Structure 1
Amino acid sequence: MDLARLRTLRELSLRKTMASVAEALLISPSAVSQQIALLEDETGIELVERRGRGVRLTPAGQRLVEHAGRVIGILEEAKTDLAELKKTVAGELRVAAFPSVAASLIPPTIRALSARFPDLMTTFEELEPTDSLAALRAWQTDVAIVDDLTTASGLSEAQVETLHLLDDQLHVLLPPGHRLAERDHVTLEELASERWALDTNSSTYSDVIVGACRDAGFDPIINGRCHSFEVVRAMVEAGCSVSINPGLRGRDYIGSLLLKQIRPAIIRRIFVTFRSGERRNPAVAGFVTELQSVAAAMNTQAAPAPG
């Protein structure tokens, strides 16, 4: 059976729609449908059932996906074995991370790794933590940087190895001149009457913020559902809203905005993940080593100064 078609079926089992598989594999939805049809012709049995805009695997499709996962895993293990034997570390290493951590950790890590292994091409893709773990499981990335606030359940998977990098404390983001501007820290309860702008590019992250507000006894009044931090920043800077900002992002330029510590603190733990056993791959091992060095240096730096 054709390996590319097996990968496509496996992606479909994870992502549920032809469109999302097409986006993940960088092909058209019609090409995904054709790959599945060819695989059904090849096996002589129906593998998927179409349900509205989505699809569901038949029992035969589910069984084939289980076999495909083992086959692909064996091939990836073979690639790791061969990479371990190579004297020159070369080829491509694929890395995924979410924006607020990627901006701080990825560029210096890639720069250090390129100096160490000039024949290795490290490519980076910006993905939210849940998508990064899905890409790791689907062999679409080799290393994923995630956090425990948005991917807690995925971090316990047997096929994924996890290493702690650093802790990141969330901060309240206020406009200049705000009534709490002189405070070193604030409680969420003190922001119950405020209007909020949230970065909803990651629905899981915005759900964490909404959940924290509810735990503090109120539903946030959301007047900005934004798909980038730049828009959140503009809403806060104009005095339209307040927001919550990752500490790592606070190390970047935030203009005249004020960062205030939250009490009690909300802390997310940042991890680097890779498939079990793949730290034997010199490229993966080298990246993880450089990443840990960059994270350790950041841990020794001062946290973002309040306001």
Structure 2
Amino acid sequence: MEELSAQSLLTLWQIGRSGSFSAAARTLGWSQPAISQQITRLEKQTGMTLVRRTSHGVELTDAGAMLARHGGMIAERLGRASHELEDLRRRRLSRLRVLAPPSICSTIVARAMVGLGRDGDIEVNVDQAEPPEAVERVRSGKADLAVVFEHRSLPHSLPLDEGLAWEPLGDDPLLLLVRRADAGRTDACRADVRDGAVPAGAAAPAAPAAPADLADWADAAWIAGCDTCKANLLAMASAAGFTPDIRHATDDYWTTQTLVEMGVGVSIVPALDTVNQLRPSLAALPLADPRAVRVIGVLTRAGDDRPAVAAFRASLARTAARVLRAPAAD
């Protein structure tokens, strides 16, 4: 088979995005007949139907969707090339668009930015995003880098593909957040956290504590986090033999602390969330489940070897080494 046309793949991707030949033609600045000719030629070349007409317009077949993903990568690389060329022409700073969830933004990403130095030639723009959104925005070229997590209880949950590169930075233990007055139902009541479970910067435990058994809290009301964290809670509770009674859901850690403090429920939180503050009325207990860990790592597009990306990844690694446990061996 002759070599595929990059322009035809780009056109196929745009048709999939817009849902019609006419809309794709307007976006790309081609006539509709020219768009149709490109797809007809590509279908003859591949010997497969790539676009299917429907009552609502057109949709890509499985083969079309596969080729369109490569068209999307071409579009992303063209956009990046234009941006880098403009930076070079204007001699601007190298800009990085970085994504991370709130707890990682405040404890790792912000410190890594300082680690780059104030007089460097890298400008970092940070936005908060949970893993599913962050992965999609890096894949589509709307962000350059993301610091995301994957729970041990939900392996391979990150929607990665060959167009993305994932590098673990370290392990962040998960803790059971309860009122200190209620901590007596577990053997871990002698201390806030298990020795070594909390990253550097958090208060040291008064004494080693026995890990808490999640099943001891089966009758409690629960406060879930983001969608990914809620799925983790359900998976861990299922392994402990119960279905949690989830009364509230919030991805705001301060709201979670307030709800727990008011006695309306308990929650599972990452140790990073306790670094900046844990209210005196609360206890963050280690969990017996060995899967009570989220793995934190850096996500970039495969082959993105720009010096600015490498420099920020190195700064993230140095920061993570101070606040995370070393990655566990698989």
Query: What TM-score does the superposition give when structure 2 sets the normalisation length?
Result: 0.70
Could you tell me which of 61, 68, 73 is aligned with 1:65? Answer: 68
What is the distance in 2 between the residues matched to 1:215 and 1:197? 18
CA RMSD of aligned residues (A): 3.9
Q: 1:215 to 1:110 in 2, by over 3 A?
A: same
Give the match's secondary structure for 1:146: strand
User: How far off its partner does 1:134 sit?
Assistant: 0.6
Within a 5 Å distance, the mapping from 1:1-307 to structure 2 comes to 38-39=26-27, 42-44=31-33, 57-59=59-61, 62=65, 65-66=68-69, 68-75=71-78, 78=81, 90-115=93-118, 117=120, 119-149=121-151, 152-154=156-158, 156-178=160-182, 179-180=184-185, 182-183=189-190, 184=209, 185-199=211-225, 202-255=226-279, 256-265=281-290, 266-278=292-304, 280-299=305-324
Give the match's secondary structure for 1:251: helix
Identity over the aligned pairs, expressed in percent?
Answer: 24
User: How far off its partner does 1:148 sit?
Assistant: 2.1
Query: What TM-score does the superposition give when structure 1 sets the normalisation length?
Result: 0.74
User: How far off its partner does 1:205 sit?
Assistant: 1.6
- Contact conserved, 2:221 with 2:244, CA < 8 A, in 1? yes
Structure 1: segments with no counterpart, 5+ residues = 14-33, 302-307
What is the distance in 2 between the residues matched to 1:146 and 1:206? 16
Q: 1:228 to 1:109 in 2, by over 3 A?
A: same
User: How far off its partner does 1:210 sit?
Assistant: 1.1
Q: Which moved more, 1:219-228 or 1:121-130?
A: 219-228
- Contact conserved, 2:165 with 2:301, CA < 8 A, in 1? yes
- Contact conserved, 2:11 with 2:71, CA < 8 A, in 1? no
Give the match for residue 305 of structure 1: none
Aligned residues: 274
Amino acid in the other structure paired with 2:32: T
Amino acid in the other structure paired with 1:94: R
What is the distance in 2 between the residues matched to 1:233 and 1:133? 28
Instruction: State the Cα deviation string for residues 24-75 of structure 1 (Å, max 9, x = none).
Output: xxxxxxxxxx965734974345998686xxx973449748834632422542
User: How far off its partner does 1:272 sit?
Assistant: 0.4
Q: 1:191 to 1:9 in 2, by over 3 A?
A: farther
User: How far off its partner does 1:241 sit?
Assistant: 0.6
Q: 1:9 to 1:288 in 2, by over 3 A?
A: farther
Give the match for residue 200 of structure 2: none
- Contact conserved, 2:167 with 2:299, CA < 8 A, in 1? yes
